[in-house]
Amino acid sequence: MGDDVELIEAIDKLVRATKRTNNLGWAVLRGIFYSFGWIIGIGIIATILFYLLPKTGEGNVVGNFIRAMSNALSQNK
């Protein structure tokens, strides 16, 4: 009989957790934190790339790319 009570309590706990995760407020918060994670991750990767690319031996790769894109855009006008 004690096992049945524990089982019912566990099912009730799961039902409450499911209702909470399907709530719109939780979905919005989850989306906000998910986007913050992406922003932080991209920032870390960009920082590492900006540090490592000039050390590849080909000079300032990022600066050369930006300059080439600027020249290409100005020639199309």
pLDDT digits (tens, 9 = 90+) for 14-72: 888 887 777 788 888 889 999 999 999 999 999 988 787 777 666 677 778 888 888 88
CA dihedral 56, 58, 60, 61 (to 10 degrees): -90
Task: Specify whether the CB–CB gap between 73 and 65 falls below 8 A.
Answer: no
How many CB atoms are closer than 10 A to CB 1? Answer: 4
**Number of structural domains the chain divides into:** 1
**Residue 5: pLDDT band by 50, 70, 90 thresholds?**
confident
Extract the runs of DSSP E, i.e. beta strands, from 1-77. none
Predicted local confidence at residue 39, as pLDDT:
97
The pair of three-digit structure tokens given for residue 75, joined into one six-digit string = 């020639």
Q: pTM value?
A: 0.51
Tell me how many degrees the CA angle 68-71-74 measures, rounded to the nearest 5.
Answer: 150
Domain of 28? 2-75
Predicted local confidence at residue 57, as pLDDT:
63
- Asked if residue 3 has pLDDT above 90, the reply is no
